Amino acid sequence: MDPGQKLPPSNSTSQAMLEFRFQLIGLCFGFYASVLLFFHLLSSTLSHVYNTLQAKQKFYWNHLATRSVFGIQSLVAGLTALTWDSEFSRDIMRGQENWSWSMIFTTAGYFLFENVAFHTYNLVFRSFDLALAIHHLYALSVFFCLAFISDSGGHYVPVVALLLEMSTPFICISWMLQKVGWGKSQLWKANQWVMIHTFHIRMVVTYYIWWVCLSHWAAVNNNYPLTLRLIFYIGLTLLTVIINPFWTYKKTMQLFNSLAWNFDHKMEPEKKNVALRKKMWR
C-alpha cells in the first residue's frame, strides 16, 4: 500500500474493499507461515539438536521462533506509539497513521496464523493451553474488529497493547537453551530474569491501558463500536486478573525449578547434554 495513501473506510461496504482487506490479512498470514517454514529449514540445516527432537518439539521450536519475530515487531511498534510525538499522542482516541493501519492488518493476519497453528498443534499432539487459547482468541477478535468495523477509532491503544508481546523472544530463547542443554547455564538464568521482568512490564502496560480507557471513557464509547468494546474489556479483564498473574508466577517458578515446559517432564540433567552441546551446530 502506498505510504501516502489513506485507507478507504470499511463502512463503504463495497465488495472490493472487503476483498482488499481480506487480501491484506491473507498476505500477512502467508508471511508468518513462511517464517515458520524458514525456521524449520534453517534449523534442520544448521542444528544437530533440532534434528534429534521429536516432531512435537520441532513444531514448537519453529512456532516459538515465529512468535519472537512478531514479538520484536510488536515491541518496536508499541514503543513508537508510546514515545513518538505523532497524531497518536495528539488525539489518543481518534489518531491514526498509515503505518498503524499496516500494524492492524499485520496483527490480524498474525493472530489468524497463530490460532490456526496453535489449534493444529493441539489436535495433532493432543495438547491444550487454556490461558494461551483465550489470549489468542481475544486478540484475533479485537484486531479483526479493528480491521473491519472500526474505522473512526484511534489506533493508540491497540498499538500500545502490542507491547504485551514483548516477552515472546525471551520465551523462545529460554526454551531453545533448555533443548540444547544450557538450561542451567548463567545465560539461561540471565534470560529468565529478563523474561520475568517483561511479564512485570506486561502487567504495568495493562494497568496503563485501563487508565487510558477509563480517563477517556466517553471518547471510547463514541469512537469504538459496542462489539469491539465488549470483546476488548472482557479480554483485558481476564488478562489483568488471571492470565498475566498466572504467567508471571509460572515463569518465576521456572527460574527455580527448570522444567521443559509444555512437555510435562523435568529437563534432562546438565551432564547428559554435554555431548549434544558439542554437536549442536554442524
The answer to whether the beta carbons of residues 204 and 248 sit under 8 Å apart is no
Residue 272: per-residue pLDDT: 43
| Nine cell digits for residue 107 | 496483527
Q: What are phi and psi of 265, to 5 degrees?
A: -150, 155
What gap in Å lies between CA 231 and CA 217, rounded to an integer?
A: 16
Q: Return the minimum-mean-pLDDT range out of 189-193, 213-217, 255-259.
A: 255-259
100 or 86, higher pLDDT: 100
Decide if 42 contacts 282 (C-beta within 8 A).
no
Tell me the helix, strand and coil percentages in the chain, rounded to 5: 75, 0, 20
Q: What is the pLDDT of residue 258?
A: 66
- Find the mean pLDDT for residues 33-52: 96
Range name among 2-11, 179-188, 201-210 with the lowest pLDDT average:
2-11
Whether the pLDDT of residue 6 is over 70: the answer is: no
Residue 268 pLDDT: 44
pLDDT band at 269 (very low <50, low <70, confident <90, very high): very low
160 in Cβ contact with 74 (< 8 Å): no
More confident residue, 266 or 213: 213
Q: Render pLDDT for 93-125 as a digit per residue (tens, 0 to 9).
A: 999 999 999 999 999 999 999 999 999 999 999
**Per-residue pLDDT tens for 162-181?**
999 999 999 999 999 999 88
pTM metric for this prediction: 0.86
Q: Which residue has the higher pLDDT, 23 or 7?
A: 23
Residue 92, classified by CB atoms within 10 Å of its CB into exposed (0-12), middle (13-18) or buried (19+), is buried
Distance CA 85, CA 123 (A): 46
pLDDT interval class at 262 (50, 70, 90):
low
Measured CA angle at 207 (ends 66, 160), to 5 deg: 45
Q: What is the average pLDDT across 211-223?
A: 95
Which band of pLDDT confidence, cut at 50, 70 and 90, is reported for residue 263? low
CA–CA separation, 92 and 215 (whole Å): 11
The mean pLDDT value of the chain amounts to: 87
Does residue 53 surpass a pLDDT of 90?
yes
Q: With pLDDT > 90 as the criterion, what percentage of the chain qualifies? A: 72
Condensed to tens digits (0 to 9), the pLDDT of residues 27-39 reads 999 999 999 999 9
